[in-house]
A and B are shown apart, each in its own frame.
Chain A
């Protein structure tokens, strides 16, 4: 099926999630949709799959203008979306789950459906037991089931959102083979939304790249990874010269650290960060850099390995114990994680202090927040609620809450959504902490920021950490290689 997206726009408040995207997709082809987090991929795919309407623009399916209000309507028009978490009914048997998806009214013809399902399964080399319960299946098997449901529902175009996250290598091979059959032999259109460049290279025929809500490029696959990286991140300006303050004192040492979650395994990390060093973690979202930071903050326990802070083994320490040992973690979530809506700036200040008396000295606390408000140029008063502040001021408040001195400062996307002036200003504040011997480790989706602000850089790709590169000697080409997962 041919799909034409014409000038799709979707705004959330002042955020332009999709800012006039047009693209043309032909039947029988597999397309990759690339872009960093927040580039607008999910929004665009939700619009195409009927999950939410566009504010403006048109969708043409085989040259017919189509509108749909729900995913069910979209499927009727031939568009099916496979979500990261399959939409199935875990307590059901496979066959019941499938029957539920088909509106066969009162008559449940098990024999017919059994044959139908088995035909599909053998056609795509899936091996599933029809009598098995859905919750006994692996994520990959549930995906296969969902795929069949969509195809049986008449999907002529399939959208797959990060389909290989959390499935085994064999399941990935089966899935990719099935997708090739579905597209190249059966003439359906496939859109693969992915962060993993090597998968896009392996499977797709053509890739679209989004950046900040706009389509910034398209290219035939295979192509060099750097090309894709350059399109995703844009041109990177030259790094400015800056004297490093790296001391010859190891602050944080990671020895053969392995972190494991059900989605991703980060193995055998060996890394030493010096006092006064700024260490940047690059990589596409969810490649393992976030897990590493959480492990260093004490928020998740590593499976094996050792974390040393100033030479002391802190591997098993809880987050609060790390906090008391002057390790600070600044998450990206602001009001979801970090600040409390409905509490004032002063109340945040009191909570964040390392020492507390039983009774609150409100005068002293108000004085403290007055001085921090001035120091961090927050537009607000001591009794302003955190949720009444603008996003940039919330970010400043997060930094204003940090105590001094700190041994280790862990930052998630330290300047996401801030303008250039605020960004420079925040980094200036952060750099001043290096004199205390603070080691700073940060992750960012901005290659720009990583190269400009770090002393050294490590790149994560699918849970694997690259060799460590010197920020002043690297360029976007080298990082592109590493982000793509190749040395």
Chain B
């Protein structure tokens, strides 16, 4: 039992180490010392204040999405549509930023509320399609992701195109009053960081201490028994998806209001999909999520410096995380992982 516990706790490290080894091998082939590369990544992530802030600014929306996914995974839902929910959040926040002139203290709260609402509603579509139309949330999620991308492209090349036109794919920058206050000219907004910490706490309390959280847990483990025990599966499914969608939408708002200053093409940066990976790697345990998410932010941001220093393309960070995806899936298919994963789910908050 004890050995099993240790295995469970250390499990997420296995594919990480394997992926690091693989990437190191790749670097050797390209005549780059893996240690140098590691140092570059480290420098790129922690080298100076602006780099640390960049890592943190990336971490915020990724973590928001990932803690939202902990809710849907608990309820036994595969919310692949989180990418689209994040994008809709970006769009809604941009709409308020561009079109609504509220008094200064209300402007940003309005943008955030709109983003959360949009993300929640986009998620509700998947949920209702599942409960009423028997469409699996993976399929509806993928379709809605595409629709969200198409909607973004339409808006930035159509109605929201900057008046000066040009080749730049995005809206005009939002007025300063509409942007989250950022720390020392960086992309990092301390408010968003505080909001993320609150979100983590909220999900923790929801799963640990509320009746709703217990219902989700039951639903994820055995829907039919839960139904017999009195859990209304349709309502809880929709609410769980909307909860996650709202957090993803919030992440989308942070993307346009602090990482960028406008709505861009590929606004999500794949953060929704990365968040799925973060949660799987964390073994569905909420308290692991912020740390795994931080690790991802470090690798992806650090590899930009790697490119400057070694002439290797910055996609080496993408390769590392991509290989990690494959390895997680590979290990995830093995019986031991399923077994440990079950353990992890049981121990999860």
Interface residues of A (CB under 8 A from B): 319-320, 323, 329, 331, 335-343, 347-348, 350-352, 356-360, 362, 385, 401
List residues of chain B with CB within 8 A of the CB of A356: 211
- CB-based contact B225/A358 at 8 Å: no
- B169 contacts chain A at the CB level, 8 A cutoff: no
Residue from A323, A336, A337, A385 in contact with B346 in the complex, judged by beta carbons closer than 8 Å? A385
Segment of B77-85, B212-220, B269-277 engaged in the interface with chain A: B212-220
Question: Do residues A351 and B210 form an inter-chain contact, with CB atoms below 8 A?
Answer: no
Interface members, chain B 308-349 (any A CB < 8 Å): 342, 345-346
Q: Smallest Cβ distance from B240 to chain A, in angstroms?
A: 16
Does B210 lie within 8 Å of A342, measured CB to CB?
no
B209 CB contact (under 8 Å) in A323, A339, A348, A360: A360
Interchain CB contact under 8 A, A358 and B226? no
Q: Which residues of B contact A360 (CB under 8 A)?
A: 209-211, 214
Instruction: Scan residues 210-241 of chain B and give those whose CB is less than 8 A from a CB of chain A.
Output: 210-212, 214-215, 217-218, 221-222, 224-232
A356 to B212, CA, bound (A): 10
Question: Which chain B residues lie closer than 8 Å to A320 at the CB level?
Answer: 230, 232
Which of B224, B228, B232 has the largest number of chain A CB atoms within 10 A?
B228
**B221 surroundings in chain A (CB, below 8 A):** 340-343
Query: Do the beta carbons of A339 and B214 come within 8 Å of each other?
Result: no
> Do B230 and A323 have beta carbons less than 8 Å apart?
yes
> Which of B215, B217, B230, B342 is most buried by chain A, counting CB atoms within 10 A of its CB?
B230
Contacts of A340 in B (CB 8 A): 218, 221-222, 225-226, 229
A401, B229: Cβ atoms closer than 8 Å: yes
Alpha-carbon separation in the docked complex, A341 to B230 (Å) = 16
Bound complex: CA A401 to CA B226 (Å)? 13
Given known A340-B222, A342-B345, A343-B221, contact A358–B228 (CB-CB < 8 A) = no
Closest to B208 in A: A360
**A352 with B211, Cβ < 8 A, contacts A336-B224, A343-B217 known:** no
Please pick, from A323, A338, A359, the residue contacting B211 in the complex, using a CB distance under 8 A: A359
- Going nearest first, the 5 A-B pairs with the smallest beta carbon separation are A340-B222, A351-B229, A356-B211, A342-B221, A340-B225
| New A-B contacts (17) at CB < 8 Å, excluding given A351-B230, A362-B209 | A319-B228, A323-B230, A331-B228, A335-B225, A336-B225, A337-B228, A340-B229, A342-B221, A343-B221, A347-B217, A350-B211, A350-B214, A351-B229, A358-B211, A359-B209, A360-B211, A360-B214
28 contacts between A and B (CB under 8 A): A319-B227, A320-B230, A320-B232, A336-B224, A336-B225, A337-B225, A339-B225, A340-B221, A340-B222, A341-B221, A341-B222, A342-B342, A347-B217, A347-B218, A348-B229, A351-B214, A351-B215, A351-B218, A351-B226, A351-B229, A356-B211, A358-B210, A358-B211, A358-B212, A359-B211, A360-B211, A360-B214, A362-B209
Closest B residue to A352 by beta carbon equals B229
Which chain A residues lie closer than 8 Å to B210 at the CB level?
Answer: 358-360
Contacts of B215 in A (CB 8 A): 351
Please name the residue on chain B nearest to A330 by beta carbon. Answer: B228
The residue on A at minimum CB distance from B225 is A340
**What's the count of A-B pairs with C-beta under 8 Å?**
64
Question: How far in angstroms is the closest Cβ of chain B from A216?
Answer: 35
Nearest B residue to A347, CB-CB: B214
Within 8 A of A (CB), among B189-218: 209-212, 214-215, 217-218
List of B residues within 8 angstroms of A359 by Cβ: 209-211
**Across the two chains, which residue of chain B brings its CB closest to A299?**
B228
Distance between B340 CB and nearest chain A CB, rounded to angstroms? 14
* Alpha-carbon distance between A335 and B221 when the two chains are bound, in angstroms: 11
- Taking CB atoms, residues of chain B closer than 8 Å to A335 are 222, 225
Cα of A360 to Cα of B209 in the assembled complex, Å? 5
**Smallest CB–CB gap between A468 and chain B, Å?**
29
Contact of A352 among B217, B230, B345, B346 (CB under 8 A): B230
Question: What residues of B have a CB within 8 angstroms of the CB of A338 in the complex?
Answer: 225, 228-229
Closest residue of chain B to A356 (Cβ to Cβ) is: B211
Inter-subunit contact B346/A342 (CB<8 Å):
yes
A198 to chain B, nearest CB (A): 34
Of all chain A residues, the one with the shortest Cβ separation from B343 is A342
**Smallest CB separation, A81 vs chain B (Å):** 30
Across the interface, which residues of B come within 8 angstroms of A401, CB to CB? Answer: 229
Separation of A351 and B210 alpha carbons in the complex (Å): 11
Which residues of A have CB within 8 Å of B209? 359-360, 362
State the CA gap A320–B231 with chains docked (Å). 8
Chain B residues lying within 8 Å of A342, measured Cβ to Cβ, are 221, 342, 345-346
Bound CA–CA A362/B342 (angstroms): 24
Given A341-B222, A359-B209, verify A329-B228 contact (CB < 8 Å). Answer: yes
A331–B224 CA distance with the chains assembled, in angstroms? 11
Q: How far is the CA of A106 from the CA of B246 in the complex (A)?
A: 57
> What is the bound-complex CA distance between A336 and B342, given in angstroms?
17
User: How far is the CB of A372 from the nearest CB of chain B, in Å?
Assistant: 15
Chain B residues whose C-beta falls within 8 Å of the C-beta of A357 in the assembled complex: 211
Pick from B215, B229, B230 the residue with the most CB of A within 10 Å: B229
For B227, what are the chain A residues with a Cβ–Cβ distance below 8 Å?
319
Complex Cα distance A401/B210, Å?
20
Cα distance A319–B230 in the bound complex, in angstroms: 8
Chain A residues near B228 (CB-CB < 8 A) = 319, 329, 331, 337-338
Distance between Cα atoms of A348 and B217 in the complex (Å)? 11
Residues from chain B with a CB closer than 8 A to the CB of A323 are: 230
